[in-house]
Structure 1
Amino acid sequence: MSGTDSSRTDDIIELEQLLAKYAVTMTRGDIDGVISVFTPDGTYSAFGEVYPLDRFPQLVEAAPKGLFLTGTPWIDLDGDRATGTQPLCFIDHTQQDQRIGYYEDTYVRTDDGWRLQTRAMTFIRRNGEHNSGRPHAISFNGQ
């Protein structure tokens, strides 16, 4: 394997571990852990909204609790930036209801390693429709 192939493999493994940390910390309700996988200007998109990091504690608190089961991501590396798609099956802990979909991501290499810069959720509905959810599904104290 050439040095370039080895570096690419190292980057893919680091990104996969970053995404595993996201899934595990979401499953555990560890807000600080979730925030740590993002760049300081990172955002999460769903429900017709884009949420900055300072809204993550409220967003994670409002999210249903359960298992975030993610699949192997498809990642396209381009130097110190990358994009990717990762499948998700979320299982609610109370009724074992499932939500399925995928994340569309952008990543950037920082001094602390790879981080998510943006993460956008797309839900796959029973009727086969793919969408980001009902706008304003999350309320932030009337805001």
Structure 2
Amino acid sequence: MDTSTMADIIEIQQLLARYAVRMTQHDVEGVVEVFAPGGTYSAFGDVYSTTDFPLLMEAAPRGHYTTGIPLLEIDGDTATGVQTLSFVAQTDHAMRIGYYTDTYTRTDAGWRLQTRAMTFLRRDGSRDSGRPHDPRRPAPSSAS
């Protein structure tokens, strides 16, 4: 592996570390900063733009995000990746597990998430993008 690829991997890993820490700190602006312009987050059967993050994060439980080292495929100025997640809710310590499927783009500000899609791993062995009927979850804006 050449030093340029290693540098890209380290930069993307730091980007994803910022995402997990900022989510744990409930820092909406910090989370939005890890996305490229026009970036999106997908869960619950919907696609959310970064303008939706304040309402989306307000509706989500607060807690601790622990992420694994991402599996990355870099191709020039774009990349794809998968990253595992364990989330523990702050109020009752209930756990959610799953993984993110990502695309990345190199911007003038460095690597950024272009898309991030959540898949939850269920006790019954199924996998899904979340429960679309959650009444606390906001609908995506028309900007999505």
Normalised by the length of structure 1, the TM-score is 0.93
Q: Distance in 1 between matches of 2:62 and 2:29?
A: 16
Q: CA deviation at 1:110?
A: 0.3
Q: Is 1:20 aligned to residue 17 of structure 2?
A: yes
What is the one-letter code of the residue matched to 2:20? A
1:92 aligned partner:
89
Q: Is 1:139 aligned to residue 133 of structure 2?
A: no
Q: CA deviation at 1:134?
A: 1.4
Q: CA deviation digits over 1:71-128, x for unaligned, max 9?
A: 0000000000000000000000111110000000000000000000000000000001
Q: Distance in 2 between matches of 1:136 and 1:54?
A: 21
Q: Gapped runs of 5+ residues in structure 2?
A: none
Q: Gapped runs of 5+ residues in structure 1?
A: none
Q: Is 1:58 aligned to residue 55 of structure 2?
A: yes
Aligned residue-pair number: 138
Q: CA deviation at 1:61?
A: 1.1
Sequence identity (%): 59
Q: Distance in 1 between matches of 2:132 and 2:109?
A: 34
Runs of 4+ in 1 over 6 A off after TM superposition: none
Q: Distance in 1 between matches of 2:100 and 2:138?
A: 22
What is the one-letter code of the residue matched to 1:135? P
1:49/1:136 contact within 8 Å kept: no
- Matching residue within 26, 38, 41 for 2:35: 38
What is the one-letter code of the residue matched to 1:12? I
Q: CA deviation at 1:40?
A: 1.4
Q: Is 1:125 aligned to residue 122 of structure 2?
A: yes
